[in-house]
Amino acid sequence: MHNGFNTQAATFRPQMTSQVYYIIVAMMLASATLSAIFFIAWKTMGEKRYALSWSVAFLAATLQWFFNLQPKLFPSFEVYWLTVNAFALAVITLGIRGHCQRTRCQYLPGNLWPYAGLLYAAVVWATVIEPNVGLRTALIPAAACLSLLLSAIIVLRHRDVPRPAEWAAGTSLVLFGISQGIAAGMAAMQGPTGDITYQALYLNFNFMTLPAGYMATGMFVIFMLASDISIDMKEIAIRDQLTGVLNRRGLGEQGAQAYASSRRTGRPVSVVMTDIDRFKTINDDFGHACGDDALVHFSKLLIEGRRAEDILARVGGEEFALILPGTPLERALEIADRLRTKIEAKEMMVNGVAVNMTASFGVAAISAKDTCLSDTITRADRALYRSKRAGRNQVDLDSSQKMLAEDGTLKSIVS
């Protein structure tokens, strides 16, 4: 949704041509439809605030277009003009507010309504106190131009690489913003008394660009909204709903990328498999709700200090996989032992009772024999179960990557 729908239908007096009448009716119906679409999106997307802001903005636009069709409802032209411009400013403010809410941008103040109030005061001044046709006509499209261009910046700078839908929405915002800027310039050229020649030029340009810009911007923002929903659904599909880390599917997707990168660049990749020791006892002694809390507690400890490129996934009931790109086997062993120590030291409180938790670990690194990351994960999983059988609360290394050191201990090699 663009955030500065051109509202210059307000320049028309009660007598309007049939062509203008049908354009306004079409824009009113389109606004009502878009308002309904964004309201449904708000209800089905977990009540995201930006979808509601855009829904209300299009509702305000619907009312604005309706009043443009019914100027005879007002006692004077000034009341008519101030009413439709009030709705126009509401549309502009709610539109850009929606973009800020979607991107959590920090570029603009959190409350834009005082600025809208100042602009409305200028409209009142140029309409009632010191009438100026050019100024009162130019103020709203100028504000629309600014808000549209700011919205484009907000959309395109939201992430390092904008999504295709964001590029499309941002481009439409820029083009519509430019057209509104041109319209504002033409409106201002009317002068204080309203030059008929420039008024005709302004109206013709405005109604030539308005429908296309209005609909293109609205539809591309719907496309952006659909893209958001698609990404959210994909995230839900690859995330474990209890702990928030990746599930098996997510591990498969991101793990395959880490494996392919390792084969392409030669960077090492290590895998750490871990699970909670005696997890069934926690469930039996304290209940399944406590068991869920234990999984969340455990996953948070694994997440702490994790690099952005590291991959953490829950692959079973209480079993987790940690993929460490760029990490050699020896370093992975250190990381696993540090996690083991931290988990042992961090007690979990259950109804005021401290519950001790330990975990076992198995470690492996990608070797020349591995055909995919699953091969590495399988070897790390075997090492995990050896650590379980050996007494738990320890770290074991994949047997194919062990050798006997001179002091009789096992040390790692990468085969």
pLDDT tens for each residue of 58-103: 999 999 999 999 888 999 999 999 999 999 999 999 999 999 999 9
Gap between the Cα atoms of 220 and 216, Å rounded: 6
Q: How many CB atoms lie within 10 A of CB 201?
A: 16
What is the total residue count of the chain? 415
In the predicted structure, residue 413 carries a pLDDT above the cut 60:
no
Closest CA to 400 of 377, 367, 371: 367
Alpha carbon 304 to chain centroid, angstroms? 24
Task: Give the largest Cα separation in the chain, rounded.
Answer: 101
H/E segment holding residue 8 = none
Burial of 283 (0-12, 13-18, 19+ CB in 10 A): middle
Rounded mean pLDDT, 182-207:
92
Q: What is the DSSP string of 325-361?
A: ET--HHHHHHHHHHHHHHHHHS-EEETTEEE---EEE
Residue 86 φ/ψ, nearest 5 degrees: -65, -45
**Dihedrals phi, psi of 157, to nearest 5 degrees:** -100, 10
Q: Is the pLDDT of residue 1 over 70?
A: no
State mean pLDDT over 365-370. Answer: 89
pLDDT bracket for residue 5 (50, 70, 90): very low
pLDDT of amino acid 192: 93
User: What is the spatial distance between Cα 115 and Cα 235, in angstroms, rounded to a whole number?
Assistant: 37
Residue 412, pLDDT score: 57
Q: What is the mean pLDDT of residues 124-136?
A: 95
pLDDT of residue 217: 92
pLDDT confidence band for 160 (50 / 70 / 90): confident
Angle at the Cα of 71 from the Cα atoms of 66 and 73, rounded to 5 degrees:
90
β-pair type (359-365, 395-397): parallel
Cα 258 to Cα 202: distance, rounded to the nearest angstrom: 57
pTM comes to: 0.73
356 band by pLDDT with thresholds 50, 70 and 90 = confident
Q: What is the mean pLDDT of the chain?
A: 89
Q: Is 146 left (phi over 0), alpha (psi -120 to 50) or beta?
A: alpha
Q: How far apart are CA 288 and CA 137, in angstroms?
A: 66
**What are 311's strand-pairing partners?**
323
Positions of E strands within 128-243: none
Region 104-109 average pLDDT = 85
> What confidence score (pLDDT) does residue 2 get?
43
- Residue 369 pLDDT > 60, yes or no? yes
Residue 289 in this model has a pLDDT that exceeds 80 = yes
* pLDDT, greater one: 21 or 139: 139
Q: What is the mean pLDDT of residues 163-181?
A: 95
Q: Is residue 193 packed enough to be buried (19+ CB in 10 Å), middle (13-18) or exposed (0-12)? A: exposed
Average pLDDT over residues 261-281: 93
Q: What is the pLDDT of residues 212-237, one digit of tens each?
A: 898 899 999 999 988 888 888 888 88
Q: What is the pLDDT of residue 8?
A: 40
121 Cβ partners below 8 Å, 6+ apart? none
Residue 180's Cα: distance from chain center in Å?
A: 28
Active site residues: 318
Q: Band of the pLDDT at 188, cuts 50, 70, 90? A: very high
Q: What is the mean pLDDT of residues 364-392?
A: 92
- For the segment 136-143, the average pLDDT, to the nearest whole number, is 96
- 154 pLDDT exceeds 60? yes
